[in-house]
Amino acid sequence: MRSRRLPRNPADPDATVVMRKRRAPIPLMLTAGIICLAGLTVALLTTVHKPASNIHGAAQPPLADEAALLAAPTGVFTLWRFGADPDILVAIFSSLHEQAMALNRVAAFVERPGVPRDHVLDDGALRATIGQAQESFDTYYYGHDYRAADLARFFATAARDGLVLHDAERALKLRLDEAGFFKPDGQAALISLPPRGEGMLDQAARATVLDHELAHGAYFTDPRYAAYVVQFWNRLTERERNAFRQYLGQQGYDMSNDDLMRNETQAYLMFTRDPRMFDITRLGLPEAVDLRRGFLSALPLAWLRRDAAEN
């Protein structure tokens, strides 16, 4: 999920924790073999529910379902297509630091409040922004999610201004280019899954992050689901919408962006089961559980309805 705030201790849900416990690196040749085997296996076994992918490139990432993604090696960067919706690409970085170097500037550019949208922050401005929010660089975001159009705009803006990209940003762009991610008439999304074993990122937490981010991916790539979320948001009372806005604003999201508010509302309300990441009582809405049931009752995507039912 996009949650960047995990409690330092259960008695203080508003505190944050920095997660930096490193895994031992996996030998390169063994990793390559595992990735190839995993890719072949999931390509054969995964049932693709949305086969008409907009992503076309010479170096197609392998297909993977949720179980395969959670079991994938995290010692090196890997890129996957989600089996139920191949327009969602899933990036797994070798560490939270590598993920931060690749995507923190994108996060600030796309959705952080008070950050300019007409240019990309340099390193000093980004670190000042993170510091003002009293957050850590590596855990600024635990999971990321972006439309292909927003990533294309980020890279185009940086190029226009002559901003030198970090190695991790350049490597990510190159891999996305190879996969055909930026096809002009396509509708694709990139999400990230944090590596296992860093601090509180146990398998339960990673599964919650994945469900949360996949829900964002569906919102970006599937018009049926996006329309359903908009309909749900419009049916909320103004008091209910404001409760979600206030909560999300406290989490560091731009409250003035209605598209972002709708998208984060569905992901937190329906797909964030781990209480370390989201406590529904903090919304201050006695009817929140009923809203959850109502959303689930007519959810149009079978794979997403299953994920929501498990939360």
Output the pLDDT for position 130: 96
Final residue belonging to a domain, choices 159, 183, 215? 215
Domain count, the chain: 2
Residues 145 and 49 placed together within one structural domain of the fold:
yes
Question: Which residue range is the domain that position 87 belongs to?
Answer: 28-215
Asked whether residue 13 is domain-assigned, the answer is no
How does the average pLDDT of the chain come out, rounded?
A: 86
pLDDT digits over 87-100, tens only? 999 999 999 999 99
Residues 207 and 253 placed together within one structural domain of the fold:
no
CB atoms within 10 A of CB 127: 14
Asked whether residue 70 is domain-assigned, the answer is yes
Pick the residue with more confidence: 198 or 144?
144
- The structure's pTM equals 0.84
Output the pLDDT for position 21: 32
Closest Cα to residue 135, out of 122, 126, 124? 126
Task: Say if residues 28 and 76 touch (Cβ distance below 8 Å).
Answer: yes
Residue 147 has pLDDT above 50, yes or no: yes
Rounded Cα–Cα distance for residues 163 and 150 (Å): 17
Asked whether residue 294 is domain-assigned, the answer is yes
Asked whether residue 5 is domain-assigned, the answer is no
| Mean pLDDT score, 56-83 | 92
Residues 191 and 293 placed together within one structural domain of the fold:
no
Kindly give, in sequence order, each residue whose CB lies less than 8 Å from that of residue 108, ignoring residues fewer than 6 positions away.
Answer: 115, 121, 126, 129
Distances (CA, A) of 300 to 32, 219, 227, 229, 308: 37, 12, 10, 10, 12
Asked whether residue 37 is domain-assigned, the answer is yes
Asked whether residue 136 is domain-assigned, the answer is yes
Closest Cα to residue 284, out of 244, 228, 230? 244
Final residue belonging to a domain, choices 161, 195, 215? 215
Output the pLDDT for position 49: 53
Residues 181 and 297 placed together within one structural domain of the fold:
no
- Bridge partners of 193, per DSSP, are 92
Residues 153 and 282 placed together within one structural domain of the fold:
no
What's the pLDDT band for 24 if we cut at 50, 70, 90?
very low
Closest Cα to residue 43, out of 68, 72, 64, 73? 64
